[in-house]
Amino acid sequence: MNIQSTAAGDAATPIDHARLERLMEEAGIDVLLATSKHNVQYLLGGYRYIFFHAMDAIGHSRYLPVLVYEKGRPDRAAYIGNKMEGMEQQVNPFWTPTVKTTCWGSVDAAHEAIAQIKAIGRHGARVGIEPSFLPSDAWLALTAGLEDASFVDATGMLERLRAVKTAAELDLLRTASELITDSMLAVFSGHGEGAGKAELVDALRREETARGLQFEYCLITIGSSHNRAVSPQSWQSGEVLSLDSGGNYRGYIGDLCRMGVLGDPDAELEDLLAEVDAVQQAAFSKIKAGATGAEMIAHAEKTLKALPNAACNDFFAHGMGLISHEAPFLMTNHPVAYDGVDADRPLEAGMVISVETTMLHPRRGFVKLEDTVAVTDNGHELIGDRGRGWNRGQA
């Protein structure tokens, strides 16, 4: 099925064209080919094809959505998708004037992209691609079919585009965080002595799914162990339980860590979690539009180093949104392998940051808080801020 529209603006255009084109100009890109599911979703205004939401593989190839965007000419934008997506177009038309739902794999999607670039007469264009999200067979097809083109890595440009969230995106992130918080609190209160790691993770999966989230993972520790993998270990009286879970709501990530204890927390546990929270609060206090990530990190680390258990504490902060680590990139290789290129750039209202402090205590175990923070003009908004103390297990 090949659906064409010749008039620009047949449907509401969901992206900020001025911002997109400024970033394309700065990156030296004439024509953008977005091929990652998250960037295609962003450029289409929130759409992601449900059939391939969890897995891309089909037959001998894989699903490869492509959004083609020519700088300065949104009227010549095109969406290239799977044949079944023609039904989606019939129900909720895509904004792009050209829609080609003709593909079953990566090579035929690349050939459609080549045809579109040639149809708009952009021979010799500087074509922006996402190298990490472009299969080798599609890349070979592009280079063979566009011999006179040059190719530019568009990854950073697209990250800059997504860095500042709209009001609608912030609402989705709030919902994701709140639903994960609700799910964790239900698991803590609904389980007690003898509950195993696998049982607890499965329970969290059910709680998140029942609330409309897509469950992605749960990292879990019990007692004095720092191992966050599922194992035969079970929760015993007096032990701590950490749940660190990621799930998404309509594609937007919720990523939080909350702590439980079976019984009442003793004075030492209260003090340990208070140390972790002190670092979190120090970071929050420096988050506002115009401040830098480096200022926030320095203040959090200064606070951490002055605490009794500094030797077993660690602080980390990263941007989040459609994916769990995105702009602003604030810390270098800590622990995820990327450069903290945004640490010295002013934070902007609408950016969203995950702030996390982890204590690996030698006797009491893994104690962590991870919070989601939206940058505002006057400060910050803590999203999903419930359950930050010790949550009791079932007696």
Query: What is the biggest distance separating any 2 CA atoms in the chain, rounded to whole angstroms?
Result: 71
pLDDT at 11: 42
Q: What is the pLDDT of residues 241-266, one digit of tens each?
A: 999 999 999 999 999 999 999 999 99
pTM: 0.93
Q: Which residues of the chain have pLDDT under 70?
A: 1-12
Which one, of 350, 311, 295, lies nearest residue 327 by Cα?
Answer: 350
The conformational region for residue 121 under phi > 0 = left, psi -120 to 50 = alpha, else beta, is left
pLDDT at 395: 83
Cis peptide before 65 (omega within 30 of 0): no
DSSP string across 351-378? -EEEEEEEEEETTTEEEEEEEEEEE-SS
At residue 14, the pLDDT reads 87
Burial class (CB in 10 A: 0-12, 13-18, 19+), 270: middle
Instruction: Identify the CA nearest to 349 among candidates 378, 376, 318, 379.
Output: 376
